[in-house]
Amino acid sequence: MNACGACVHAHTQVLVKAGESVERIAAVAAWREAPFFSEAERAALELTEAVTRLVDRSGEAVDDELWGLVAGHYGERQISALLLLIGVTNLFNRLNTAIKEPAGATWT
């Protein structure tokens, strides 16, 4: 979503090591059209988009309908964790794109 190549690369490596399928990794950018995600995962992805792409929304970033959808799948602690992960990921996206961190860079 934020065009952070370093983050996409790093997350892909972590997901592959965790045993995630190539189909799901490749389809995450088109999650709305992909059949690989559960309803709970779709709710989390929609929350991620709403919190990340503020400029694309008119009105509230996360409206009551989306809160209800997310709350139907996750408890309060899980929602808090999701929001924290979304925020931290957005922070690193912005830092990496600002410094033009290349995908796959290693530091010694």
Residue-wise burial string across 42-69, b where 16 or more C-beta atoms lie within 10 A, e elsewhere: ebbebbbbbbbeeeeeeeeebeeebeeb
- Write the pLDDT tens digit of every residue in 52-73: 987 777 777 889 999 999 999 9
Best CATH choice for the domain 5-98 from the list 1.20.1290.10, 3.40.250.10, 3.20.20.70, 3.30.70.1350 = 1.20.1290.10
Contact status, residue 45 vs residue 37, Cβ threshold 8 Å: yes
How far apart are the C-alpha atoms of 32 and 44, rounded to whole Å?
12
Alpha carbons 17 and 4: distance in angstroms, whole number: 20
Question: pLDDT (tens digit, 9 = 90+) per residue, 3-14?
Answer: 788 888 999 999
35, two tokens: 């059949």
Tell me: the pLDDT tens digits for 66-107? 999 999 999 999 999 999 999 999 999 899 889 888 888 776
